[in-house]
A and B are shown apart, each in its own frame.
Chain A
Amino acid sequence: MTDRTLAEDAIPARIAIPVELRAVAIMLTLAAFGYVLFPDDLAFLTRLISIALLVLSLDLVTGYSGVATLGHSAIFGVSAYAVGNLCLAGQSDPLLLLVAGALAGALMGLASGALITRFKGLPQLVLSIAVGQLVAALANKLSGLTGGSDGLSGISPGRVFGIYAFDIYGRTGYVFSVAVLIVVFVVLLRIVRSPFGLLCRAIKDDSLRARMIGARVYPRLVLMYGVSGVVAGIGGSLAAINTGVVGLDSVSFERSAEALVMLVLGGAGSLWGALIGSIVFQVFEHYVSAANPFHWMTMVGALLIAVVLFAPKGLLPLAISLTGRVASALRSRA
């Protein structure tokens, strides 16, 4: 009997509404902390948020669905360029720009997903790099659309809801970005717990077994790539809206690789892992590069080696097991 009740509670408990509410509460707290810690550097925080969206997007295809990619910034960058051009053409409503960026991301995601998920393993990884390099090369060549190596500049979005202007202190930008991140995160929490999300995790585990339960693996992966594209597209749009410039760095290989590093750092296959990885990496980078501009990359490297050695599954699983141990130690003492 006890077994039965356990089993009954097992799955529903995870998808109950409190999960989303808790997420909103935690993220608002984090946002408030950010505001208190970096009151004069909100630009850093908004940049952090747009990169966090890229990492979340990567988590959907790599962490949840097992697709290896080192070309994910292509989606981020193409959306940023699209939004930049749209804004320069006179469409300056931030929400409209966000939707446009999400659409561009969806298209890029579906297109690159349709190509990349046809393959597996190393060929897949190489193809993802090729897609990324192709987009980067195009961005460099099509300077009419991208400004080439000078980048696109002078992007000045209008007021949010026609009321809140983007101020030079970045307050509006910060609140706007936090709100967007929270909405995206809550929606993603829902998606990864949906039947579709569960199937993607199953495909990652064993795609032949997934086919043997009747799953159409390829269309599902392409769809997940589309969802991921929306998220990366929103990240790219936020970057363009907040900074007012889009450069070649936004489609660069380094950006893709860094996103993967952040994901592995926090813990792939978990949205919280992606979020924590991108926060820890970027905050660390922020402090260390200011303290030691010459050797900060070395220190980031050392951090990564330490994480891979001592927490190969990322910081989040490590934190969970540590808090679990502390809690049980306290309980046994009580």
Chain B
Amino acid sequence: MTRPLLELRHVSKAFGGMKVNDDVSFSVAEGDRVALIGPNGAGKTTLINVISGDLQPSEGCILVGGVDMTTHSIPRRVDAGLIRTFQITRLFTSLTVAENVALAVMQKKGLTKRVFSSAIGRTDIRREWQRVLGVLDIAHLADRQVSQLAYGQQRLLDLAIGLALEPKVLLLDEPAAGVPSDESSRIIEAIDRLPAHIAVLMIEHDMDLVFRFARRVLVLANGRLIFQGNPAEVTSHQEVRRAYLGSYADACHTH
């Protein structure tokens, strides 16, 4: 058993009186491919916000690489290899595609403190952002302004920024949602090709994609983790079917 890269212990998050995450515990190890599913409003994005440090949990703790990072700032978690993308794409809109990724590369290399350098033109930096854009098949967009990109291309760029940071744990919040199918297949391929050692936790509604990607599935309903197990078990699990899968599971079973 490998040591968990990310571990949640009894994590709860309440907004006012409303518990959006309720006593959530699980862990993710090197090379894991975990899908986090659940109905709309189940608290999935909130959980990612808590893990990434955007929100403080009301209770519980978050460990990254065995270190309690519950009170650590966002950048410190990023330094530890905990990288996320966003359900609603967030990009640096006044920069070009290349600059978006180059900035992540330079941040990773600790170069963004440099006030008087032309590091962005350095060959090693350029190679790196070109490589990442190449992996996602968007190298031809390098000079484009973000505002000129189609939504699917923006999603790819959001993922590219994440990859440029060389994640150990990658949290993906519905990476293919709202993307036309030709581009969504490119996103899916890119996720398939992620380096094997990275631990990936992906929120996803598309069950075909979940079954293709995940070796383990977590089901969140009303903020509570009601199931964890392998994808084959999830469709037969009564509570999960009631909470979420509904017709999809029935369809699978009648076949």
Report the minimal beta-carbon distance from A333 to chain B, rounded to whole angstroms: 27
CA gap between A204 and B133 in the complex, in Å:
24
- A195 with B120: CB separation less than 8 A: yes
CA gap between A227 and B103 in the complex, in Å:
21
Instruction: Tell me the residues in window 21-70 of chain A with beta carbons closer than 8 Å to chain B beta carbons.
Output: none
- B114 with A213: CB separation less than 8 A: no
CA gap between A197 and B114 in the complex, in Å:
9
Stretch from B84-92, B222-230, B237-245 at the A interface: B84-92
CA gap between A209 and B101 in the complex, in Å:
12
Given the complex, which residues of A lie within 8 Å of B247, measured CB to CB? none
CA gap between A201 and B145 in the complex, in Å:
14
- A213 with B116: CB separation less than 8 A: no
CA gap between A220 and B89 in the complex, in Å:
24
The proximity string for B residues 69-92 relative to A, scoring 1 for CB distances below 8 Å and 0 otherwise, is 000011100110001101000111
Given the complex, which residues of B lie within 8 Å of A197, measured CB to CB? 115
The answer, yes or no, to whether A331 is at the interface (CB within 8 Å) is no
CA gap between A269 and B95 in the complex, in Å:
12
A64's nearest neighbour on chain B, judged by CB, is B94
Given the complex, which residues of A lie within 8 Å of B75, measured CB to CB? 211, 214-216
- A3 with B140: CB separation less than 8 A: yes
Known: A7-B98, A196-B113. A213 touches B104 (CB 8 A): yes
Report the minimal beta-carbon distance from A86 to chain B, rounded to whole angstroms: 27
- B95 with A8: CB separation less than 8 A: no
The answer, yes or no, to whether B107 is at the interface (CB within 8 Å) is yes
- B118 with A10: CB separation less than 8 A: no
**Which of B93, B108, B126 makes the CB contact (< 8 A) with A8?**
B126
The answer, yes or no, to whether A223 is at the interface (CB within 8 Å) is yes
Which of A187, A202, A211, A213 has the largest number of chain B CB atoms within 10 A? Answer: A213
The answer, yes or no, to whether B214 is at the interface (CB within 8 Å) is no
Given the complex, which residues of A lie within 8 Å of B52, measured CB to CB? 212
- B114 with A214: CB separation less than 8 A: no
- A11 with B107: CB separation less than 8 A: no
| Residues on B facing A (Cβ under 8 Å) | 52, 54, 73-75, 78-79, 83-84, 86, 90-96, 98-100, 102-104, 106-108, 111-121, 126, 130, 133, 139-140, 142-143, 161, 165
List 5 additional A-B contacts (Cβ < 8 Å) besides A194-B117, A196-B113, A212-B52: A4-B139, A11-B120, A195-B117, A198-B99, A209-B91
Give the top 5 A-B pairs by smallest Cβ distance, nearest first.
Answer: A214-B78, A7-B142, A12-B121, A3-B140, A211-B74
Instruction: List 29 interface pairs A-B (beta carbons < 8 Å), by A numbering.
Output: A4-B139, A7-B130, A7-B139, A7-B143, A10-B143, A11-B102, A11-B120, A11-B126, A191-B116, A193-B120, A194-B114, A194-B115, A194-B116, A195-B103, A195-B106, A195-B111, A195-B119, A196-B113, A198-B95, A198-B112, A205-B93, A206-B90, A210-B92, A211-B74, A212-B52, A212-B90, A213-B104, A216-B75, A227-B115
